[in-house]
């Protein structure tokens, strides 16, 4: 089964009501005004990165494609809108036949982005594009925030694998999306079976403290787990006394014991003691896995510890302090009339308070320095400079309403690793700083 082709979970048959009401009232008014069919261009971007972040990570694109495909106003949804008088009958008739028929371009999933990057561009009639604002932003803002945190954690972890363990710390459906985004950002596995089923992410899991507490003796719990799962299992050794647990674990499983997990205490100190004890007991190949409210800073602090893998939960699924990317979805160009041949006119918000936008359909390219590292994110309208023609970032995702860019999640994950590697070395520093490369604008104001 190609998991990339799976639809949304069965309990969410339509994404049409993942919509703010004002999108439907705008549609109603535009239909009455005769402007609903004007060709329009919306762009997703963020004005700034979260405080201290050096780069962003595009994640959730595949889920956006699923959401667009499942954006249908069925009888139940239409009945709800009618019952609550949210729109009139003319608008309901229009919604009943809704199928997105436009084009969507965007940064490929896994790519990095910076302030102003046109992460996604949605083109079609105003009516069909405006309805997608909330669902597109909710997916991209959530998944990109998780992926950015995951990327920082995986960078801090180096070659040591990371396990996503956050399902118990967030909404049950958000947990599945978070596991997917974490995988994009560099995590190796997840404990969430729904994420494994839906997206093919490798799953892992052995036991919790409850399993040890169930038994009369810790030895009995370890023996039961080894009997069931084999000597290569991971035994949780911090329920009572860590040193005694490690000794018992090796007595039962022998030097073939797969791993021990430490979930509390001074992880740096305990890891060193456990490694020494395992080696003295002849279990030199037994790995050490640490958990317990880790974030990228804690992971970095354990770089010199004899740790083989990390399990991360709460800090990951909450974006390590930044649960959203503050992306917005803005109209940047629209036609002068409903005539399909009418030229596009750049439009932009000019209000004060830092919420201005830049008009015109944009392209984006990443300029490299002489060593092949990224040195600037270049964004513009009009013709692309010849020197940047082969460095353009946007790819076609949807053409004429048909999805054209679904891809396996492993491809997305590999793309992110390559994109991060193409940034200056300072990108992976955890200290606070500005975006690792600047955003430059060209040709703006010269057309759409």
Nearest to 446 by CA among 397, 387, 379, 383: 383
Numbers of helices and strands, H then E, in the chain: 15, 18
pLDDT one-digit tens code per residue, 252-284: 999 999 999 999 999 999 999 999 999 999 999
Q: Please tell me the distance from the alpha carbon of residue 187 to that of residue 271, in angstroms, as a whole number.
A: 21
177 neighbors 143 (Cβ within 8 angstroms) = yes
Band (pLDDT 50/70/90 cuts) for residue 432 is confident
d(CA 448, CA 443): 10
d(CA 268, CA 301): 8
| 12-64 pLDDT per residue, tens | 568 999 999 999 999 999 999 999 999 999 999 999 999 989 999 999 999 99
Q: Indicate if the alpha-carbon torsion angle 76, 81, 84, 89 is positive or negative.
A: negative
Q: Which of 177-191, 287-301, 338-352, 394-408 has the lowest mean pLDDT?
A: 338-352
Burial of 100 (0-12, 13-18, 19+ CB in 10 A): buried
For 78, the token pair is: 């239409």
Tell me what the pLDDT averaged over the chain comes to.
94
The pLDDT value recorded for residue 50 is 93
Residue 357 banded pLDDT, cuts 50, 70, 90: confident
Position of tokens 């060593």? Answer: 371
| Reported confidence tier of residue 4, pLDDT bands at 50, 70, 90 | very low
- State the CB neighbour count (10 A cutoff) for residue 115: 16
137 CB contacts (<8 Å, ≥6 apart)? Answer: 44, 327, 328, 329
Q: What is the pLDDT of residues 167-185, one digit of tens each?
A: 999 999 999 999 999 999 9
Q: Which of 246-255, 345-354, 355-364 has the highest mean pLDDT?
A: 246-255
Residue 15 CA to residue 8 CA, distance in Å, equals: 9
Bridge partner list, 122:
42, 104
Map tokens 């030229």 to a residue: 343
Bridge partner list, 103:
123
Name the one residue in this structure whose structure tokens are 């403290």.
209
- Taking the C-alpha atoms of residue 419 and residue 413, their distance in angstroms, rounded to an integer, is 10
């Amino acid at each position: 089964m190609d998991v990339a082709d799976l639809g949304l979970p069965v309990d969410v048959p339509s994404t049409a009501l993942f919509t703010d009401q004002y999108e439907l009232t705008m549609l109603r008014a535009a239909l009455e005004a005769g402007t609903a069919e004007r060709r329009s261009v919306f762009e997703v971007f963020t004005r700034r990165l979260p405080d201290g972040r050096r780069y962003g990570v595009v994640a959730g694109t595949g889920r956006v494609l699923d959401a667009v495909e499942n954006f249908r106003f069925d009888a139940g949804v239409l009945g709800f809108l009618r019952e609550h008088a949210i729109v009139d009958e003319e608008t309901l008739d229009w919604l009943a036949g809704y199928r997105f028929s436009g084009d969507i371009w965007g940064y490929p999933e896994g790519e990095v982005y910076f302030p102003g990057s046109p992460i996604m561009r949605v083109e079609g009639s105003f009516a069909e594009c405006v309805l997608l604002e909330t669902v597109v932003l909710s997916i991209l803002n959530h998944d990109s925030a998780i992926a950015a945190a995951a990327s920082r954690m995986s960078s801090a972890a180096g070659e040591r694998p990371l396990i996503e363990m956050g399902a118990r710390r967030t909404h049950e459906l958000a947990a599945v999306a978070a596991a997917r985004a974490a995988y994009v950002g560099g995590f190796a596995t997840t404990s969430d079976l729904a994420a494994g089923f839906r997206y093919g992410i490798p799953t892992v899991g052995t036991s919790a403290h409850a399993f040890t507490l169930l038994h009369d003796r810790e030895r009995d719990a370890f023996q039961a787990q080894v009997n069931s799962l084999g000597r290569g299992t991971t035994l949780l050794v911090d329920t009572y006394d860590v040193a005694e647990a490690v000794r018992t674990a090796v007595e039962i499983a022998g030097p073939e014991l797969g791993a021990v997990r430490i979930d509390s205490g001074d992880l740096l100190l305990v890891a060193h003691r456990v490694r020494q004890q395992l080696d003295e007991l002849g279990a030199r190949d037994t790995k050490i896995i640490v958990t317990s409210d880790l974030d990228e800073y804690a992971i970095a602090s354990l770089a010199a510890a004899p740790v083989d893998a990390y399990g991360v939960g709460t800090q990951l699924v909450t974006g390590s302090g930044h649960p959203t990317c503050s992306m917005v979805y803005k109209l940047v160009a629209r036609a002068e009339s409903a005539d399909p041949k009418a030229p596009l006119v750049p439009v932009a918000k000019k209000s004060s308070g830092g919420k201005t936008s830049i008009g015109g359909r944009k392209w984006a390219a990443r300029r490299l320095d002489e060593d092949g590292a990224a040195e600037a994110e270049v964004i513009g309208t009009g013709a692309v400079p010849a020197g940047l023609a082969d460095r353009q970032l946007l790819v076609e995702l949807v053409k004429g309403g048909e999805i054209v860019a679904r891809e396996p999640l492993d491809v997305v994950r590999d793309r992110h690793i390559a994109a991060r590697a193409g940034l200056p070395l300072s990108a992976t520093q955890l200290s606070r700083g500005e975006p690792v490369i600047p955003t430059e604008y060209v040709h703006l104001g010269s057309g759409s």
